[in-house]
Structure 1
Amino acid sequence: MLTVYNLKMPHAVYGGENAMDNITAILKNHQAKRVALFTDGGILASGLFTLPEAAVKAAEAEYYVLSDIPPEPSYTAVQQIVDQFKENGADMIIAVGGGSVLDAAKLASVLVTDEYGVKELLDTPGRAKKCVPTILIPTTAGTGAEVTPNAIVAVPEKELKIGIVNENMIADYVILDARMVKNLPRPIAAATGVDALAHAIECYTSKKANPFSDTFALEALDLILNHILPACDDPEAMEAKNRMQIAAFYAGIAITASGTTAVHALSYPLGGKYHIAHGVSNAILLAPVMRFNAPVCEDRLAKAYDRCCHEAENRCQSDSEKAEWVIGKIEEIVRHLNIPTSLKEFGVPKEDLDGLVEAGMLVQRLLVNNMREVTPEDARNLYLEIL
């Protein structure tokens, strides 16, 4: 656990009923005249975009829409969006979407300069400076991208995803409005929800865990374990969806104060090479990695059980029983949500094992956070378990 730690968060976060209405006042306070709205085709088709768009119109600000943002984009695809933004200009960015949209907007907010682009930030992310203020509005209850200083992009030549991390990308404003996740398709709600679950439990069992991150990670874990199933299964379960949206935000805060571990590290090659959705690749690896880590973080998993298990009967007594309950609960959730538990469904051959291990071991930025050291042989065994 860290003995020196800090917490960086957005300037303001608005949640609750009709949270979207705050956009109008924010734009007026900033005297914003021209607004760039980042989103994607799915959001436009769903009708969700009309809510933030109406708030922008109420502020009487000129605006334009950038919607050609693919899911899980490469750094070159993001650069194309950034170039469009630079060409059109704006004095405020509003992003409405999932992690890919929010990450693209965050990168655009620090890339108005011609001195460097997305590719250069892969190697030297610290050079980026905030140029345009941002309002981020998540449409999933999962990625936590609205609060983190991270932007994840695919790097095709390395068959890997890489996280660009710079605190200048932290949002100025965040809007958490449960109406934006009400009609989220179940597979997307499931994958992004388990992504948030991974954020919470990884940050809580990270070497970088600290009192700040523990506060948010444990609350997020409690909310997710006890609300993810109704939030995904019942379109009308608005209370559960609201809890999941808050939990995803809390888990994102935990990332900023702590950091994810081997689950995310080993999942990056699965997205980079096979284009498996980020939340799905994390879900496949989550229980195996947690069981691998259990011998060195059993006490933390036991504390998580004490916080999150609200069952009145059949209470676990020992730390090992409690840790196994937590891992078993994760497996139960993944199965119930019909998320694959192996790579067979994605046609990943065993012949690719060496490449997976090599790519996964490159993600030292996250592997160094893992409480139990992950050797190449360990990575090999974890990948074999899910092949």
Structure 2
Amino acid sequence: MSYQVKIPSCAFGGVGSIEKVKEVIKKEKSQKVVVFSDEGIKATGLLGILTARLDEAGVQYHVFTDCKPEPTYGQVEAVVDMVQGQECDLIIGLGGGSVMDAAKLASVLKGASYTIKDLMNDPTLAEKKVKTVMIPTTCGTGSEATCNAIVAVPEEKSKKGIVNDNMIPDYVILDAQMIAKLPKSIVAATGVDALAHVVECYTSKKATPFSDPYAVEGAKLIFRNIREAYNNPDNMEAKNNMLLGAYYGGIAITGSGTTAVHALSYPLGGKFHIAHGVSNAILFAHVMEFNKDACQDRLAALCDAVYPTYAEKSVEEKADYIISQIADIVKVTNIPTDLTQYGVTMNDLDFLVTAGSQQQRLLVNNMKELSLDDIRNIYLKVVK
């Protein structure tokens, strides 16, 4: 068995590391920058922190704040089309996963003969046209480290991942001041999304000796810090640890891959527009409980790494404990535990089962094969 992991060529971390954007501009001899962000980021003042550094660097820049949360491929295409008319030699993504995914897609679409629809059908077409810098403003998507871009597909009422190594960012800046004022609900949703990344990657069929260290270290950082980051927003150490954990989760994805949690969450985002992290959180413990008998040893090993005081417990007890901690984190961060408030009813069950079963890119990673009845039974735990 051969394996690989691919990571951004340069990553900066620590409070104040936003200053490093000037170093990147100098190194790349950049003269014209395009910045992807959104109106929410602009309203918080975070965009101003970045543009002040761009002003200090003396570089020309154009800012696009039209990125939408959980965007359709058409919405991403509209933003990328606006960039086509701009000369640029560097693209910066400042925001959450949707913003960074749009920036990554722009980096392979600018001046290209293929379209985003072409990439949805054949991701191998993507070629990097412009170098990228990713600056996450949430603590969970891991998009700053991955070769993935996720878009909603309205006609299928689901989501699709475009995956190509050319979308791995060139530079990453992990500055905890960029998540200092992150609303608690987003700390929760994106944090649990990052937790799903590391747990799924560690229990994936495709887990390797390259992906495992990132998944384990990410798990330690997130399990041990998410409650503190949620309950005490001023704890910058906890938030910095969440940023690092999310980044490690992103790297783990490039070497391994997420599994049934993400696969079954995609229809919830695509049709019901439930935030990605929330839909993952609602399903997370139930999917791991289903998977337990196929990956009990891996869950127990994760427990040993994260909670060494449980080392004397049995393998089954340790696996159960990790799953119980996942469920508890969802509960204490006040994420819903079922789909009632999102208008999902029993009438939607057939759609969910069919759409979920079609996410084979991720389901093939799952340690345990899911039949249609298995998928239905998992959804039944969260559909009332």
Alignment pair present for 1:376 and 2:372: yes
Residue 47 of structure 1 corresponds to which residue in structure 2?
A: 45
Q: 5 Å matches for 1:318-357?
A: 318-357=314-353
Residue 386 of structure 1 corresponds to which residue in structure 2?
A: 382
The answer to whether the Cα contact below 8 Å between 1:316 and 1:322 also exists between their aligned partners in 2 is no
Within 1, Cα distance between the matches of 2:8 and 2:285? 31
The answer to whether the Cα contact below 8 Å between 2:189 and 2:335 also exists between their aligned partners in 1 is yes
Superposed displacement of residue 59, structure 1 = 1.4
Counterpart of 1:337, as a letter, is T
Which deviations, in whole Å up to 9, do the C-alpha atoms of 1:237-281 show, x marking residues without a partner? Answer: 100000000000001000000000000000000000000000000
Residue 113 of structure 2 corresponds to which residue in structure 1?
A: 115
The answer to whether the Cα contact below 8 Å between 1:213 and 1:255 also exists between their aligned partners in 2 is yes
Which deviations, in whole Å up to 9, do the C-alpha atoms of 1:67-111 show, x marking residues without a partner? Answer: 001100000000001000011121111110000000000000000
SS in 1 for 2:210: helix
TM-score calculated relative to the size of structure 2: 0.98
Residue 13 of structure 1 corresponds to which residue in structure 2?
A: 11
The answer to whether the Cα contact below 8 Å between 2:304 and 2:311 also exists between their aligned partners in 1 is no
Residue 21 of structure 2 corresponds to which residue in structure 1?
A: 23
Residue 69 of structure 1 corresponds to which residue in structure 2?
A: 67
Which deviations, in whole Å up to 9, do the C-alpha atoms of 1:119-164 show, x marking residues without a partner? Answer: 1111101101000000000001100000000000000000001000
| 1:309 maps to which of 304, 307, 314 | 307
The answer to whether the Cα contact below 8 Å between 1:69 and 1:101 also exists between their aligned partners in 2 is yes
Residue 145 of structure 2 corresponds to which residue in structure 1?
A: 147
SS in 1 for 2:220: helix
Within 2, Cα distance between the matches of 1:94 and 1:129? 17
Residue 359 of structure 1 corresponds to which residue in structure 2?
A: 355
Within 2, Cα distance between the matches of 1:11 and 1:52? 21
Superposed displacement of residue 44, structure 1 = 0.3
Within 2, Cα distance between the matches of 1:80 and 1:329? 41
Superposed displacement of residue 53, structure 1 = 1.1
Residue 211 of structure 1 corresponds to which residue in structure 2?
A: 209
State the superposition RMSD in angstroms.
Answer: 1.0
SS in 2 for 1:345: helix
| 1:88 maps to which of 86, 89, 110 | 86
Within 2, Cα distance between the matches of 1:179 and 1:211? 33
Which deviations, in whole Å up to 9, do the C-alpha atoms of 1:211-239 show, x marking residues without a partner? Answer: 11110001111111110011111121100
The answer to whether the Cα contact below 8 Å between 2:196 and 2:280 also exists between their aligned partners in 1 is yes
Q: Give unpaired runs (5+ residues) of structure 2.
A: none
Alignment pair present for 1:36 and 2:15: no
| 2:287 maps to which of 286, 289, 309 | 289
Superposed displacement of residue 18, structure 1 = 1.5
The answer to whether the Cα contact below 8 Å between 1:136 and 1:174 also exists between their aligned partners in 2 is yes
Residue 195 of structure 1 corresponds to which residue in structure 2?
A: 193
Counterpart of 2:224, as a letter, is N
Within 1, Cα distance between the matches of 2:213 and 2:311? 24
The answer to whether the Cα contact below 8 Å between 1:178 and 1:245 also exists between their aligned partners in 2 is yes
Within 2, Cα distance between the matches of 1:352 and 1:178? 40
Counterpart of 1:358, as a letter, is T
Within 2, Cα distance between the matches of 1:135 and 1:156? 29
Within 2, Cα distance between the matches of 1:303 and 1:114? 45
Within 2, Cα distance between the matches of 1:289 and 1:374? 10
Within 1, Cα distance between the matches of 2:132 and 2:74? 22
Counterpart of 1:318, as a letter, is S
The answer to whether the Cα contact below 8 Å between 1:290 and 1:327 also exists between their aligned partners in 2 is yes
Identity of aligned residues (%): 53
Range with greater deviation from structure 2 (28-37 or 262-271):
28-37
Residue 257 of structure 1 corresponds to which residue in structure 2?
A: 255
Counterpart of 2:374, as a letter, is D
SS in 1 for 2:62: strand
Counterpart of 2:287, as a letter, is V
Within 2, Cα distance between the matches of 1:278 and 1:112? 27
Within 1, Cα distance between the matches of 2:236 and 2:76? 33
Superposed displacement of residue 17, structure 1 = 3.1
Within 2, Cα distance between the matches of 1:233 and 1:331? 17
Q: Give unpaired runs (5+ residues) of structure 1.
A: none
Within 1, Cα distance between the matches of 2:201 and 2:311? 25
Within 2, Cα distance between the matches of 1:4 and 1:56? 42
Superposed displacement of residue 114, structure 1 = 4.5
Which deviations, in whole Å up to 9, do the C-alpha atoms of 1:330-383 show, x marking residues without a partner? Answer: 011000000011111211010111111110011000000000001111101111
SS in 1 for 2:151: strand
Which deviations, in whole Å up to 9, do the C-alpha atoms of 1:163-221 show, x marking residues without a partner? Answer: 00000000000000000011100001100000000000000000000111110001111
Runs of 4+ with >4 A deviation: none
Residue 167 of structure 2 corresponds to which residue in structure 1?
A: 169
SS in 2 for 1:72: coil
Counterpart of 2:174, as a letter, is L
SS in 2 for 1:13: strand
Range with greater deviation from structure 2 (270-279 or 228-237):
228-237
Q: 5 Å matches for 1:217-296?
A: 217-296=215-294
